[in-house]
Chain A
Amino acid sequence: MSYRDNIRNFSIIAHIDHGKSTLADRLLEATESVAQREMSQQLLDNMDLERERGITIKARAVKLDYRAEDGQVYTLNLIDTPGHVDFSYEVSRSLAACEGAILVVDATQGIEAQTLANTYLALEHDLEILPVINKIDLPSADVERVGKEIENFIGIDASEAPAVSAKMGTNIEAVLRQIVKLIPPPQGDEGAPLQALIFDSFYDSYKGVIVYIRVKEGEVRPGQRIRMMATGAEFDVVEVGYLRATQMEKCDRLRAGEVGYLTASIKNVQDTQVGDTVTTAENGAAEPLHGYRQVQPMVFSGLYPADGAKYNDLRDALEKLKLNDASLSFEAETSAALGFGFRCGFLGLLHMEVIQERLEREFNMDLVTTAPSVVYKVELTDGTAKVIDNPMDYPDPATIAQAYEPFVNASIFSPSEYVGNIMELCQEKRGVFKNMEYVDENRVDIRYELPLNEIIYDFFDTLKSRTRGYASLDYELSGYQPSKLVKLDILLNGEVVDALSFIVHTDKAYARARRMTEKLKEHIPRQMFEVPIQAAVGGKIIARETVRALRKDVLAKCYGGDITRKKKLLEKQKEGKKRMRQLGSVEVPQEAFMAVLKLDSDS
């Protein structure tokens, strides 16, 4: 009998809010991995943001010791995965480190878009899928219906699926029993050349990068010289160990089938790309594990410090975040309107929001951001090609032979009564209908091909509002298609504000120009002069609004010789000017830049 026979490596996959993290917490408790007093809610989501939003952003892993009914102790390696479409590549790498996955489905909601997307991912990796029906404590729970949905729509047997309440701690033991019973132990040969899959990494200021690995073949131990097969970087292993719920536990070696960490005085997470294979420098593996790819940002946005003097602080903050986030990219950018800042690349909108929020919360940065842009490709008349992630770089239309924009395959799950609304929305967003399937009598899975550009403009919010919150969305990039694109410029008082330019499909230009000028009018306060707001495509004005001149802002009377109030007003004005961006002769509050990002959300 091998040491591997008592190991089970698994993930938990679920649609957002179906109870993934709560179930993980219960498993930790049930295996006494965490003392009750250390139990803060949702231990694995330890960023404030993750807890607040109920999402997992970073993958985590934890080794649990489970004494089964047969008296044997099993090692359960739980690998928690990010739960959002932005991080689907990271999810796939976490899944690749496992032999099984627990599929958590909410007994009141049934299958959702991400349930399916994650299940497909797990099936691609040949994982044993263990359905668990959660939230049976809620009055509207319907275990039987949800079990049928899983069987009929996903096609996996749910007759044995434990019905649990992670919140109340009901029936957790059944889940543990099934993990041992149904998930196969890992394969691998500890004598073979080392192949270890990196599924995440963290920067620690004492130990350097802590690399989370699943050893597939061979073994890794301190003192070995290792090589990252994709990046070619080499290091000497300092420490290896297991990941416990509340600390790291050093060990002598990690063998094939095991999950743990290694440190090797690595300075930079760029050297430990998720999905890369760790092997030994000498007598290493001939081939890396398959599935690695370099992560490409999908969404770009300009980030500027509200106070220009904080430029260096922003750079330092971005560098610190990048220590832990290899998928974040940034480079210096200059805008006539906003001054010095950074063009940042993100995996998606959620990733962008998370980075912005972390900059604001953890680094106290006050930011002005420009509208997110996807990556366009253009072929120029001179035969060259160009990749555009910044509207400021969009070439003169006369020099463009053909422009291309990225599309996604989107899957939308919804009660069937909203099919009409969803199709209408997708048509508005230039979607192409692909397919529709019934999940059960009342719910459908609608497939559309949609431009990514349309999705990053609040598609999700609109979808939610038009389906009373019932629809769920998942998508993956499908490739580039020819498109008719134009660059829309915004002029204030006759001058182009570069930071407000964006690229838009020709058919959408007029509508968006109108919305943009209206929205700006709402947010630009009346000033001493009349301020025309214009939207232009290639020099032609297609929309116009006017902010009329301010008429009245005066303190008529203060009591006698008490000028404190006048003085305070003066100081308030002075302070207020700092919140304003001076664009030519026009003062624009920073909120105006933010407001135009949410252009469609209240339309």
Chain B
Amino acid sequence: MEDRPLGMYLHIPFCRRKCNYCAFYSAPAGEAAWEGYADALCRHIALWGERLGRRAVDTVYFGGGTPSLLWRQLPRVLAELGRCFQLDTGAEISLEANPGTVGREELRALRQAGFNRLSLGVQSAVEGELRALGRLHTAAEAMACVEAAREAGFANLSLDFMLGLPGQSEESLERMEDFVRRAAPQHLSAYILKVEAGTPFGEMGEALRLPDDDTAADLYESCVARLSALGYGQYEVSNFALPGFACRHNEKYWSLEEYLGIGPAAHSLLGGTRFFYPADRAAFVGGGLEQLQREGTPDWEEYAMLRLRTAAGLDTGRAGLPDGLLERARPFEKPGLLYIEGPVIRLTPKGFLVSTPLIAEILYG
């Protein structure tokens, strides 16, 4: 069987300090732990390379945590990946970075090691919001980092922003727009804040003074419009890009293409099966592939859900999908929540905003 190239995700479960909203598997640790962890990553990469027989890889994504903290270690991890897998010459190799953790020299080293896409966690262009989030950088430092990345040779740059922050207003979005104009990234992600249990934000409850749903929805719609005016097309609920710069790695997730996740709490879809490493760094560092946990096989519901979260939408004519999807979607066309073009259902930004119940309506009626 001729396998299509694989997407590869590598999880870096370290950060300088946990942000107030973050529920991802990540924690502060010393450089010694980083070294040991990089060794473990290399070992697991080799195990997988053996198992998959140097399979072709066309996207690589180092996510976290704050991968940029490990700028000294990551070049050898990437080199190991190149040794054990067949890395396409045009592969998209992304790295998440936090402003303030890396400067020009470090970024140059990373660029030279082969990373060609940098995703910067800017989160906000308003100082008060950054402080409330518990970020360790200012907006000015974020801009300096953008400039450093450009100078280091990163031509494909993505910025992360957050929406629905406590006290956030249109003015905050104007500052974001200014920032985007100046930074001129190729790609943007704008995530609506979700308060997670077990985070400092989660503990705060009512005291957090989040904008109400209507205000948050207004902010989201305004953000979509502003980015669209700057040429960034929305291609998923929270993702925007200049033409040709949609993140190819993420697109694999949303079209049920194969990807392999390495690292604690990393998920994979391979050989028709979903599986993951347990969220346990010690187990990952000390163990091998025996710790993987199966979590089933993708079904049509999963496919339809993921497609409906993209701007390209769901082609209801695709084999394996049940009848009735189009009929159930139709009543939502008039209120402007989606478009139907032939067999394809596409959610509008208004539709994305209510996608949780809307998708259930389309799938189950």
Smallest distance from the beta carbon of A588 to chain B beta carbons, Å?
Answer: 15
Q: Which of B1-30 contact A (CB under 8 A)?
A: 9, 11, 24-25
Contact between B305 and A570, CB atoms less than 8 A apart: yes
Smallest distance from the beta carbon of A566 to chain B beta carbons, Å?
Answer: 6
Contact between B61 and A552, CB atoms less than 8 A apart: no
Stretch at the interface among A70-78, A202-210, A489-497, A557-565: A557-565
A35 within 8 A of B: no
A570 and B360 in contact (CB under 8 A), knowing A528-B332, A563-B253? yes
Smallest distance from the beta carbon of A555 to chain B beta carbons, Å?
Answer: 6
Chain A residues with CB under 8 Å of B163's CB are: 556
A-B CB contacts (within 8 Å), total count: 109
Chain A residues with CB under 8 Å of B360's CB are: 570, 573-574, 577
A37 within 8 A of B: no
Smallest distance from the beta carbon of A582 to chain B beta carbons, Å?
Answer: 9
Chain A residues with CB under 8 Å of B208's CB are: none
Q: How many residues of B contact A (CB 8 A)?
A: 52
Residue from the set A557, A570, A574 with the largest chain B CB neighbour count within 10 Å: A557
Chain A residues with CB under 8 Å of B9's CB are: 560-561
Q: Which of A542-571 contact B (CB under 8 A)?
A: 549-557, 559-564, 566-567, 569-570
Smallest distance from the beta carbon of B79 to chain A beta carbons, Å?
Answer: 22
Residue from the set A552, A556, A557, A562 with the largest chain B CB neighbour count within 10 Å: A552
Smallest distance from the beta carbon of B255 to chain A beta carbons, Å?
Answer: 12
B276 within 8 A of A: yes
A563–B261 Cα distance when bound, in Å, is 13
Chain A residues with CB under 8 Å of B172's CB are: none
A550–B214 Cα distance when bound, in Å, is 9
Chain A residues with CB under 8 Å of B295's CB are: 564
Q: Which of B25-58 contact A (CB under 8 A)?
A: 25
Stretch at the interface among B101-109, B135-143, B147-155, B266-274: B266-274
A470 within 8 A of B: no
A549–B269 Cα distance when bound, in Å, is 37
Please give me the residue from chain A that is nearest to B263 by CB atom.
Answer: A560
Stretch at the interface among B180-188, B283-291, B348-356: B348-356
Q: How many residues of A contact B (CB 8 A)?
A: 26
Please give me the residue from chain A that is nearest to B7 by CB atom.
Answer: A561
Contact between A556 and B238, CB atoms less than 8 A apart: yes
Smallest distance from the beta carbon of B217 to chain A beta carbons, Å?
Answer: 4
- Please tell me which one of the listed residues A554, A563, A567 contacts residue B354 in the complex, with CB atoms under 8 A apart: A554
Residue-by-residue, is B296-311 near A (CB-CB < 8 Å gives 1, otherwise 0)?
0000011001100100
A585–B334 Cα distance when bound, in Å, is 14
Contact between A555 and B266, CB atoms less than 8 A apart: no
A529 within 8 A of B: yes
Contact between B356 and A573, CB atoms less than 8 A apart: yes
Chain A residues with CB under 8 Å of B353's CB are: 551-554
A564–B309 Cα distance when bound, in Å, is 15
- Please tell me which one of the listed residues A559, A577, A585 contacts residue B265 in the complex, with CB atoms under 8 A apart: A559
A565–B145 Cα distance when bound, in Å, is 33
Smallest distance from the beta carbon of B212 to chain A beta carbons, Å?
Answer: 9
Residues of A at under 8 Å CB distance from B?
527-529, 549-557, 559-564, 566-567, 569-570, 573-574, 577, 585
What are the 8 closest A-B residue pairs judged by CB atoms, nearest first? Answer: A573-B360, A551-B217, A556-B192, A562-B267, A552-B213, A556-B191, A552-B217, A561-B267
| 28 sampled A-B residue pairs with Cβ under 8 A | A528-B332, A528-B335, A528-B357, A528-B358, A550-B354, A551-B354, A552-B214, A552-B217, A553-B213, A554-B354, A554-B356, A555-B194, A555-B355, A555-B356, A559-B24, A559-B63, A560-B61, A560-B267, A561-B9, A561-B261, A561-B266, A563-B253, A563-B274, A567-B305, A570-B356, A570-B363, A574-B364, A577-B364
Given A550-B213, A551-B353, A574-B363, output 8 extra A-B contacts at Cβ < 8 Å.
Answer: A554-B192, A559-B24, A559-B63, A560-B63, A560-B253, A560-B261, A560-B267, A570-B360
